[in-house]
């Protein structure tokens, strides 16, 4: 089949709840866009995808809806997921005469066979000729250049937008894994709820995200952080501005962070003793957007008593791993959740 290698592109896709990234073989990461689409409900026309759609969040008239087609890593709107992927493939194809793709797609570890089939079908219907699912922690470990093929424990915690995936990987496979629907989006919800209860003020998700990134932290810090925010007074219905402190944001998200730490503990508790010893020696690796929360690695290190470090460029770790697998599919075929079948080209 080497004859046809010039006719197709192998790509890696991180189809995330918050952001989607695409890696093209030989080029690296070429797309990094929010997983959003703006739709005109009257005409069913897709008005914007990605960054352009994100600008519209909370600012659209009633006949325009900004859709997030993936919730907690699971496809909730198949057609919109398909439209986003089709847009990505069209963007990637600009410099290629042929649009034949083999795609490696990262997915949360807890997806059912039906949900994995849904991801595969969305990729195929968007224009790919083959789709292979790879568990996100395995892809993240590959992207972090961890020695996953060796008989030692590689523990990775991927805190994304919709899910937190935790896995201990050895000999190219997942030994123990946990996946929970508590991640960046849940932290935003916690902040929105706290502001509502504490200040009687309604804010949107973009404002909550700003608070989390700017003054949020997992542990107390010396620097006194505060940030003014604006929203709607729930008593009068009029505009209102309040000053939010970093300690308040930390209080809002503390319960969810505790659940993430408990899930990490559970993953270690059920692992074989030899691998647990490896984890103590090798440490735990953090990736995903949630790993950038101030003090997140220190919180896990404090609670688990194991060295914790954030991987280089944690936001692109999964797509880089999917890209590495796409670069050499035969070598990494054993890590795919779906079988690597012989390639067929129909004329």
- The predicted model gives 231-237 an average pLDDT of 94
Task: Note whether residue 288 is domain-resident.
Answer: yes
- 320 lies in the same domain as 273: no
Same structural domain, 156 and 205:
no
Judged on CB neighbours under 10 Å (0-12, 13-18, 19+), 197 is exposed
In a domain, 258, yes or no: no
**Residues 274 and 244 placed together within one structural domain of the fold:** no
* Total structural domains within the chain: 3
In CATH, what number is assigned to the domain containing residue 160?
3.30.420.40
* Residue 271 sits in the same domain as residue 227: no
| CATH code at position 188 | 3.90.640.10
Confidence of residue 232 (pLDDT cuts 50, 70, 90): very high
- Domain-located, residue 195: yes
At 15-63, the pLDDT tens digits run 888 899 999 988 899 999 999 999 999 998 999 999 999 999 888 898 9
What integer best gives the mean pLDDT of the chain? Answer: 89
Confirm whether 347 is domain-assigned. no
Q: Please tell me whether residues 204 and 245 are part of one structural domain.
A: yes
Q: Note whether 129 and 14 are same-domain residues.
A: yes
100 and 157 in a common domain: no
- On whether residue 344 sits in a domain, the answer given is no
Residues near 231 by Cβ (< 8 Å), separated by ≥ 6? 195, 201, 202, 203, 204, 207, 239, 240
- Mean per-residue pLDDT for 139-162? 92
What integer pLDDT is reported at residue 95 of this predicted model?
53
> Residue 347: its pLDDT value, please?
35
- In angstroms, the Cα distances linking 191 to 48, 70, 206 are 28, 21, 11
pLDDT band at 342 (very low <50, low <70, confident <90, very high): very low
61, part of any domain? yes
The verdict on 223 and 133 lying in the same domain is no
160-180 pLDDT, tens digit each = 988 999 999 998 888 999 989
**CA of 38: how far to CAs of 41, 72, 191, 257, 292, in Å?**
9, 19, 25, 31, 28
216/278 same-domain check: no
Residues 305 and 167 in one domain: yes
The answer on pLDDT for 251 being more than 80 is yes
| pLDDT for res 97 | 46
Average pLDDT over residues 198-202: 96
Q: What is the pLDDT of residue 100?
A: 65
Identify the domain containing residue 60 by its residue range: 2-140+316-335
Q: How many of the other CB atoms lie within 10 Å of CB of 113?
A: 9
Predicted confidence band at 249 (pLDDT cuts at 50, 70, 90)? very high
Instruction: Say whether pLDDT at 117 is over 70.
Output: yes
């Amino acid at each position: 089949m080497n004859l046809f290698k010039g006719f197709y592109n192998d790509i890696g896709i991180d189809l995330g709840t918050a952001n989607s990234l695409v890696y093209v073989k030989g080029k690296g990461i070429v797309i990094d866009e929010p997983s959003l689409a703006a739709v005109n409900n009257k005409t069913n026309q897709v008005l914007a995808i990605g960054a352009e759609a994100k600008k519209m969040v909370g600012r659209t008239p009633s006949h325009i809806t900004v859709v997030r087609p993936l919730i907690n890593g699971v496809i909730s709107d198949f057609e919109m997921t398909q439209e986003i992927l089709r847009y990505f493939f069209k963007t990637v194809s600009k410099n290629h005469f042929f649009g034949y793709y083999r795609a490696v797609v990262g997915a949360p570890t807890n997806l059912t066979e039906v949900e994995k089939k849904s991801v595969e079908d969305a990729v195929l219907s968007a224009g790919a000729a083959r789709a292979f699912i790879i568990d996100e922690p395995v892809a993240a470990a590959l992207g972090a250049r961890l020695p996953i093929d060796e008989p030692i424990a590689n523990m990775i915690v991927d805190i994304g937008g919709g899910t937190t995936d935790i896995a201990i990987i050895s000999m190219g496979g997942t030994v123990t894994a946990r996946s929970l629907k508590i991640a960046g989006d849940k932290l935003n919800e916690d902040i929105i709820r706290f502001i509502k209860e504490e200040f009687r003020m309604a804010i949107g998700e973009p404002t909550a995200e700003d608070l989390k990134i700017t003054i949020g932290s997992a542990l107390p810090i010396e620097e006194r952080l505060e940030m003014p925010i604006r929203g709607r007074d729930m008593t009068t219905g009029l505009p209102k501005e309040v000053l939010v402190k970093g300690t308040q944001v930390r209080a809002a998200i503390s319960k969810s962070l505790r659940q993430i730490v408990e899930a990490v503990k559970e993953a270690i508790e059920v692992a074989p003793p030899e691998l647990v010893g490896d984890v103590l020696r090798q440490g735990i690796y953090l990736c995903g957007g949630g790993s950038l929360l101030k003090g997140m690695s220190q919180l896990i290190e404090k609670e688990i008593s194991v060295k914790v470090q954030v991987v280089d460029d944690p936001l692109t770790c999964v797509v880089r791993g999917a890209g590495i697998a796409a670069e050499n599919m035969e070598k990494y075929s054993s890590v795919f959740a779906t079988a690597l079948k012989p390639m067929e080209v129909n004329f």
